[in-house]
Structure 1
């Protein structure tokens, strides 16, 4: 088992505005350091402070060893977030691997009696009906892996012609695919509301797969479907629509708890 160093900073930015009343933790997709959320500061209101959960082996943590199994990764992310929580209500949002991690970290919170997220936003992944990669796929020769990345639209087109960028992205992606391959669904339900988002032509998702969230939450708030594939959320208009809907639900659940 690969055990990453604990030296890196898990939350980016490390400090958030003290006047923000709600916190939002953003979990990135496989191979990413959080670039999918690069413009979210433009979409979110000033009273919601967001932090990207920065995994080892990429961007500012490039020199660290990436995780290759899901349970150790969930536990490490859980510990980092739990240590940083304060009295403010908080929510999770994740895309693909990020949604999977948000779900499992919320279960770890409940297990240890930590305050639960008031909401989970799950995008591009469902606990049932999602095409889970195998460990063998994480070992694909680089040309095949890059072709697969390109098919999904994982990264901007200019990345694929830049070998220096690929040399940083591919190892992180391989590690994250290995992480996903070790996931075993146990049917566990969270203790917080879940709202879902997906692309209409996502090749990794069976029709109706997002409805499987209904059994995993005491309050499933439904799925919003957008034109596009697995990375529909890369389009600015869709990202704005997702954040607007997420904020709407987030304000409602926070107000209901006051």
Structure 2
């Protein structure tokens, strides 16, 4: 049976980020985009204000999409922390669990990370702060009409991340693979390696070429890397 890859969005993103993956004919996994309120077809809904609320939204979608088949969970940056909390929630619910968790561009939970403090910044300062932190810019952030559509969800997600403190609890019971851009100045290799503290099955860090948003320059490399890691999950 083909393994399903549940894809959780990074800050400000939505399921639409991953829907083009579904058109790739040679991927060795079934792509299941997971949505959050405040974006794409759920644009009119208010974004989640806590990590626990976002995890519940994701867990409910994953339970329905997974059924009884095998699955894994993938998330980048904010989405990596969200993936971790979503799997913890699934475990506490007694739901079927993923075989593998793949996190990207994120230090382990509990490791200090730069704050955005977006509520203190106007839109121009917010975009500049984000660009300086992640080393990435997006043309839509500079178009007034698009900015008005995109920034509310992005601000909300980063406020959730600023406030996030992982609650004590048992480690994950499946392997964790950690992807990191080799030139990512936001996430140190040693902080990515600390994901091993959060699973009883070990964690492997894979450095790939690029910075924090490495995959925007080479989507096929990300797909190939994910396929290789998932093929080796057993």
Match of 2:157 in 1: 176
1:102, distance to aligned residue in structure 2 (A): 0.8
Match of 1:92 in 2: 73
Secondary structure class of the residue paired with 2:61 = helix
Match of 1:225 in 2: 207
Q: Superposed, which structure 2 residues align to 1:69-148 within 5 Å?
A: 69-127=50-108, 128-133=110-115, 136-148=117-129
Q: Distance in 2 between matches of 1:66 and 1:175?
A: 6
Q: Residue 212 of structure 1: which of 194, 199, 211 is its match?
A: 194
TM-score of the aligned structures, taking structure 1 as reference length: 0.80
Change (3 A) 1:170 1:154: farther
Q: Distance in 1 between matches of 2:118 and 2:140?
A: 21
1:79, distance to aligned residue in structure 2 (A): 2.0
| 1:59 equivalent in alignment to 2:34 | no
Match of 1:21 in 2: 2
| 1:241 equivalent in alignment to 2:192 | no
| 1:203 equivalent in alignment to 2:185 | yes
Q: Residue 68 of structure 1: which of 39, 44, 49 is its match?
A: 49
**Equivalent pair of 1:43/1:243 in contact (CA under 8 Å):** no
Q: Deviation per CA, 1:159-195, whole angstroms, max 9, x where unpaired?
A: 1331111111111111111111221124541111110
Q: Distance in 2 between matches of 1:72 and 1:221?
A: 26
Q: Distance in 2 between matches of 1:44 and 1:211?
A: 33
Please provide the CA RMSD for this pair.
2.3
Secondary structure class of the residue paired with 1:117 = coil
**Equivalent pair of 1:199/1:231 in contact (CA under 8 Å):** yes
Match of 1:7 in 2: none
State the aligned residue count: 231
Q: Structure 1: any 5+ residue segments left out of the alignment?
A: 1-19
Q: Distance in 2 between matches of 1:169 and 1:48?
A: 29
**Equivalent pair of 2:32/2:65 in contact (CA under 8 Å):** no
Q: Distance in 1 between matches of 2:204 and 2:93?
A: 28
